[in-house]
Amino acid sequence: ISITTLEPQSEKINAYRELLSRLYTIEYETLKKLVGHLAFIHSMRSKNKMEIKNLAVIWGPTLLQKIEDVGYSQQDAEVVSDLVLLYKHIFPLSDDEIKKEQEMLMCLQRYYASAETLADSVKQSGDLKIWITVDQNLKKSQKKRIKLM
């Protein structure tokens, strides 16, 4: 039976948690960061037009790719949709992670507010701005900022 069809929602959450607990730590943490980022993108859908169905169609085949199957799968999209929509229920978040999410949200809100005032005088470039922290154990002096072009 597919996890995506489980009811009630608490059963679905528990099934995803159990399945994801089988991953190696690095795979689990990487998936958690990526799905967290997708959940954040989805939370800003009024600005970026990335509804859950758009995210799921793009990321489903990418994240859940099977060796023998290179095509689109509705079930893959449904799994990604569940992971994004149920992110805060499936993946336990520490207080630090919640604080970082709130800081990112405030930063993006300031960015959008300033971009709206400049909209008439500045041409849109289509730049992608993304903040990623992989190793939370690094000291501040060890962290480096990288600008991607």
Cβ–Cβ under 8 Å, residues 83 and 16: yes
pLDDT per residue as tens, the chain (149 positions): 488 778 888 899 999 999 999 999 999 999 999 999 899 889 888 888 889 999 999 898 888 877 676 666 788 889 999 999 999 999 988 888 888 888 888 887 888 777 777 655 556 666 666 666 666 665 555 555 544 44
Cβ atoms of 23 and 97 within 8 Å: the answer is no
| In the chain, where the domains are located | 7-93
pTM above 0.75, yes or no: no
DSSP symbol at 3: G
Pick the CATH number of 7-93 from 1.10.555.10, 1.10.260.40, 3.40.50.2000, 1.10.10.10: 1.10.555.10
DSSP 77: H
CB-side neighbour CA atoms (13 Å) of 96:
3
